[in-house]
Amino acid sequence: MAALCVITMANVVVRYLSDESFAWTEELSVFLLVLTTMAGAAAAALRDNHIRIEFFLMRGSDAHRRRLVLFGAAVSAVFFVVLAVLTGFMAWDDFKYAEISMGLGVPRWWYSAWVPALSMVIAFRSFQVLKMEIAK
């Protein structure tokens, strides 16, 4: 997050002082933002701290809450497994067709390979929540 802030601030200062922009800073900023978001989502998944509407969760009995937590963990796990598969195909295509990034001119799969990997981490964490909830 600190690197993202520094890179973005440097681009803003340079753009303000010179009316020029560093194209590579945009590329790195987007990558770091996705990486930070996915890493944060993995941490939130295990703690069961994802955004939800507490009104519906707290409205019913303990059994109702348990069913909602089980449902949420199962849907999250399935969603992130599907996301990992689909973005894995995208990363493979980037590798297979030797796609190059616009700003730095590096292989695009360097960036796109992180999404399926971190999606699998989030799915694993969701499965852990599911397992812990079933064990209760």
74/43 Cα distance (integer angstroms): 17
Tokens representing residue 129 in the block: 């929540």
* pLDDT tens digits, one per residue of 72-95: 999 999 999 999 999 999 999 999
101/34 Cα distance (integer angstroms): 16
Q: Would you list the domain boundaries of the chain?
A: 2-135
Q: What average pLDDT does the segment 109-136 reach?
A: 94
Which residues have CB under 8 Å from 116's CB, separation 6+?
83, 84, 85, 87, 88, 91
With CA atoms as reference, report the closest residue to 45 among 82, 89, 79. Answer: 79
Tokens representing residue 46 in the block: 């295990």
130/70 Cα distance (integer angstroms): 6
β-bridge partners, 100 = 107
Q: pLDDT confidence of 55, banded at 50, 70, 90? A: confident
